[in-house]
Amino acid sequence: MKRMITMGSALVALTMLFPACQEKSDPFSTKEYTDLVINEVSAHDDRDGVDTWVEIVNNSQQDKDISKLSLYLTDEYFDGRQIASFEGKTLKAGERLIVATTDEALNTGISSAADFSVVLGMAPDKGIVDKFERADMGRLSVPGSYQRIPDLTGEWQRTPAASKGYENRVLTLENTKPNAIWLWSSHSAEWIENDGAIMKRMKELGYDHVLLNFSAFETASKIKTTTKFLEMAAQTGIMVHVWMQAFYQGGWVSPVIDAENRYDQALFDKIVAEAKSYVEDYGAQGIHLDYIRFGGTAHKHNPSQEITAVGAVTECCRQVREGIDAVGDNIVLSAAMMAENSAAYYYGQDPAKMGKYVDVFMPMIYRYHAGSVKYGDNWCKQMSRLFTTVTDAQVWAGITSYEYDGNSVKSLPAERIREDAEVFLDTDCTGLVLFRYALGDFPDVNNLWN
């Protein structure tokens, strides 16, 4: 009897004779590199003495063998050039790996002056794990970088200060407390001594903003201290605004050239260039315009309906706003304001007009004056409303940390300063500025504005 061969048995036989072809593994599969990201890029090859580096983070709970991966650069000179290799490297869970030109782990510099892309992968165009493209993001400030915001998962942003080796964050008015200090440059060195003990203490007390006087940038030795100050402030979570003197430069300078019926554009250009430099060259996160006014003579500088004192002050604010926006993102522009009913007439300050360009007004509502003069609570509130009722810009009340005993300055205790600050709680002011550090015992203001 012949044996019947069924279709099923035939298939079994064929399978035995010809084993099924196994699916070939993809040599460029990136499944094992999930949660490995390029998190920050500092690209300064166009500047002498400034390091270029890339931060890669293992944003997972498992160690990752990254031996098969490399970094590849495409820019105006290179098309997918390998600039770093990770052969034999394992990245621990949560580890932040910095590859930099200083230690030659990164063998080619990267410039933010033009478009470029950096690929983390097995090849420039295959097995791509992550990619950063600089296109249209703008040139970096010297201490700045491109960062993922929020850290590890967010969109790319150009930031004024790098977060090398620690959590990425950009300080803004929205994520900081609205409490500031006017700080003379002579005190900046002590703020960074002992691992920034004073700076950290001020942060603990709720002061998230420092208005650092421009003289901190006048000499090479001061700049060295200031650079460290800015770096430490960024790590501490304090936003640094450079405190400039707009129309007072050793004496009053009028922004109106009356005889020619025009504004002094050369003066505007000088102020704008200085402001841009603080942002682009040093990573300042704010520009604070002091003396953005006339010295009580504004009413004498209105040569025509088109050229006026108020117009000059406002135009300077507009040009500074435009200038700093061109070199930095999310830069805060603030202005010290005269708290007087006739400020437009005497000083050329009109907050309704200036508020189109200024983020924060800081009216100097100084209730204490020489001769032991003290203005009352109602006066303080009235002065604040000169600003809060005419603009959508934030208004931070500027008060002193001292009073006068006759004509002598006398520091105030913390409880007195706190009481003076609380006067503004039932106004539309949204912040506090204290003049100045080294006078008075600063109170805890963490819960001042809730």
3-state secondary structure of 312: helix
Q: Which amino acid is at 413?
A: P
| pTM for this model (two decimals) | 0.89
Q: What is the 3-state secondary structure (H, E, C) of 117-150?
A: EEEEECCCCCCEEEEEECCCCCCCCCCCEEEEEC
pLDDT at 26: 81
The separation between the first and the last C-alpha atoms of the chain, rounded to the nearest angstrom, is 97
What is the separation of C-alpha 216 from the centre of its chain, rounded to a whole number of angstroms? 18
Whether the bond into 436 is cis, omega within 30 of 0: yes
Taking 50 as the pLDDT cut, the residues of the chain under it are: 1-8, 10-18, 20-21
Q: Which residue has the tokens 């005993």?
A: 405
Residue 277 sits at φ, ψ, to 5 deg, of -65, -40
Q: Which amino acid is at 197?
A: A
> In sequence order, which residues have a C-beta less than 8 Å from that of residue 130 and are 6 or more positions away?
36, 37, 38, 119, 120, 121
Strand order in the sheet with 117-121: 79-85, 70-74, 117-121, 128-133
Residue 124 sits at φ, ψ, to 5 deg, of -60, -30
Residue 82 sits at φ, ψ, to 5 deg, of -75, 120
pLDDT at 24: 63
Of 292, 439, 413, 262, which is closest to residue 355 (Cα–Cα)?
A: 292
Q: Are 310 and 298 in contact (CB under 8 A)?
A: yes
Task: Give the DSSP per-residue string, 25-55.
Answer: P-TT--GGGTTEEEEEEE-BTTSTT---EEE
CA atoms within 13 Å, Cβ hemisphere of 233: 30
